[in-house]
Each structure stands twice: as structure tokens, then as C-alpha cells.
Amino acid sequence: METDLRELKEVLRRENEEFRLLMESHSSCEARLRELQGKGFLNEEEKLEEVTIKKKKLHLKDKMEAMMRHYRNGDLMTSGSR
């Protein structure tokens, strides 16, 4: 099952520009969160940024999962976004 999800993500990443952009944005959020979590202490601005990034990352993940669900149901073309 996990392999199927990985394969589906790869197909959509290669063939759907919107999905690819969502993945890139999600990866950028993940990288910034790692930077913030690597700090010993976060000031108030960084704490707020961390919360904001986590919310954005979750929103991006939800959108990608919805696209995968639609694709599995035959509702999404891989050659681009609707």
C-alpha cells in the first residue's frame, strides 16, 4: 500500500504541474521547520512562524491527498491541473 502511494505521488509529480508545485512548497516548509527546530530557543516571531508553517504544510498535504484521491477515482487528469 505504501509503495502504491509512493508510485502515485511520483506519477502525479511528473505529470501534473499543480501537484509538483504543491510538493515543492511542502518540501520547502519541511526544510524551514527543520531549521527552526534545530535552534535551541525560538523567539516569539519564530514561534509564530513555526505555527504558521505547520498549518501551511498541513493544508498542502490535504490538497495533495485530495488530488491523489481524485486521480484514483479517475476524476483528475495527469497532464495538468483543472
Answer yes or no: is 77 within a domain: no
pLDDT tens across 40-59, in order? 899 999 999 999 999 999 99
Answer yes or no: is 79 within a domain: no
Answer yes or no: is 23 within a domain: yes
pTM of the entire predicted model: 0.82
Answer yes or no: is 7 within a domain: yes
- Interior/surface letters 64-75, b for 16+ CB within 10 angstroms, e for the rest: beebbeebeeee
Q: Over the chain, what is the mean pLDDT?
A: 91
pLDDT tens across 22-41, in order? 999 999 999 999 999 999 89
Which residues touch 76 (CB under 8 Å, ≥6 apart)?
A: 16, 67, 70, 82
Three cell numbers written together for 68: 491523489
Above 80 in pLDDT, residue 69? yes
Q: How many domains does the chain have?
A: 1
Answer yes or no: is 16 within a domain: yes
Answer yes or no: is 81 within a domain: no
Residue 9's domain comprises: 2-72
Answer yes or no: is 78 within a domain: no
Measuring CA to CA, how many Å separate 50 from each of 8, 28, 41?
A: 29, 13, 12
Above 70 in pLDDT, residue 77? no
